[in-house]
Amino acid sequence: MDNGSQKTFNNISFENLKPGFDNSFNSSNYSQPKLIIKQQVFHPMASDQMNFQNNINEIEKHNIINSNVDEDQQFQKKSNISPMYNNIQYSNIKLNKMVIINSLSDQKTVFIVQKILQESSNADIISIVVDLKGEYRKLIYDKYGNFFCKDLFKIIDTKERIEILKELSLTLSEDCCHSYATHPLQALVEFSSTEEEYKLILYSFNDYNKLLFATIDPNGSYVIQKIIDRIPERFRKDFNYIFSSFIGFVCKKKYGIVALKKFIECTRSEAVMPVIIKLIRLNFMNFAVDKYGNYLIQYILDRFANFSEGKEIKILIFNNFNVMCKSKYSSFICESYVKTLNNDEKIQLIKTLDLNSIIKSNNPNSLKILKSLGINMNIINAQNNIQLPLSLNSNMNNNNLNSNFTNYDFGYKSGKYN
């Protein structure tokens, strides 16, 4: 944990977190599996139908492989290789464990293996999956093997995917935090479609610490988002329960807030939103002034503006508006809030402003907020004389506004969120 951070949250202790994890998580903390590549690469796929080295030369001839370009960038050019591949014959070429592992020594040969995989029959693919049993964790950690696995996981059938998940499920929550392994694991989650697959994926995340740290990890967060987006809610009740227990912690983390927004978007359970709203109510200013926590409030305000959840957030913002305007991050919330107000609501808000303290805060965004309320900054004096725009003046004179806004009715309908 970061120095100075709280050791407990919602009565949950952070004293005994799993060794090797912290907020600055680095996948090197794990004991990563090693894929051993032989120095002398043997290519049994080379045959009368295909000379392996000639095909590599063919690729280089089309300027697909450039040793002066970063290797990761070269992988992004994969789509540009397809037309050139039409000139290469792949008939009767079979992939097996030795071919695949040996081809991962450089990017030139792995391109060819990926293309052969795409043209393989269903029977050949099944044979590949069986042949590679016990090697998948090594492959997904490999610089080139992860690309092969990503392609393989997209085209296999449910039966083969289940067998691979059985091999990876125990360590999936750890593996998803690796910069290479995260990509094939995202594909594995995305293309899963049965209850058995869902259970195997979620098995590794039925632990508080594992789910927490995968959620705030820059690589693991993407897998968590895939799980939330692709697995139906009825299968992830336990997952939702654990995730809801640390919302207040992950919303203040860069990658945690992204996963949390996806969680809110894809979760329809009526038990979830009340928990989130209560958490915001109890920690409102703590979240509002936080670099990432303010996004949670803005998201709720925007997504549920016409429902009871949004209405409650608006009341909290109104009651803390003067303080929030002075802080960099909470002022972003104020800016979003002002955009939701009609003329009458703007008048009510202006009557409560402490302009002297807001202006003296020297927050550039606060002046922008005042201007968006229609306040003429050129005529504000030490006595807080405010000249309202003409469109607001008439309403100001013709309305008897209630200065106590705590129970103010915005006129929005109350109802369940979508």
Which pLDDT value is given to residue 273? 87
CA 109-110-112 angle, to 5 degrees, is 70
Could you give the CA distance from residue 322 to residue 334 in angstroms, rounded to a whole number?
9
* Sequence-distant (≥ 6) Cβ neighbours of residue 70 within 8 angstroms: none
Residue whose tokens read 């295909």: 50
Q: Which residues pair with 9 in a beta bridge?
A: 12
pLDDT of residue 168: 95
pLDDT (tens, 9 = 90+) of the chain, 418 residues, equals 444 443 333 343 333 333 333 333 344 444 555 444 333 333 333 333 344 444 444 444 443 334 344 444 544 444 444 444 444 444 456 777 887 887 777 777 788 888 888 888 888 899 999 999 999 999 999 999 999 999 999 999 999 999 999 999 999 999 999 999 999 999 999 999 999 999 999 998 989 999 999 999 999 999 999 999 999 999 998 999 999 989 999 999 999 999 999 999 998 877 788 889 999 999 999 999 999 999 999 999 998 888 888 899 999 999 999 999 999 999 999 999 999 999 999 999 999 998 888 888 888 888 889 888 888 665 554 344 544 444 444 444 444 333 333 333 333 233 333 3
pLDDT at site 272:
86
Q: pTM (2 decimals)?
A: 0.71
Q: How many CB atoms lie within 10 A of CB 210?
A: 21
Q: Count CA atoms closer than 13 A to 12's CA, side-chain side.
A: 14
Q: In angstroms, rounded to a whole number, what is the distance separating the alpha carbons of residues 335 and 370?
A: 9
Decide if 361 contacts 394 (C-beta within 8 A).
no
**Structure tokens given for 311:** 């209405």
H/E stretch holding 249 = helix 247-250
Q: How far apart are the first and last CA of the chain?
A: 36
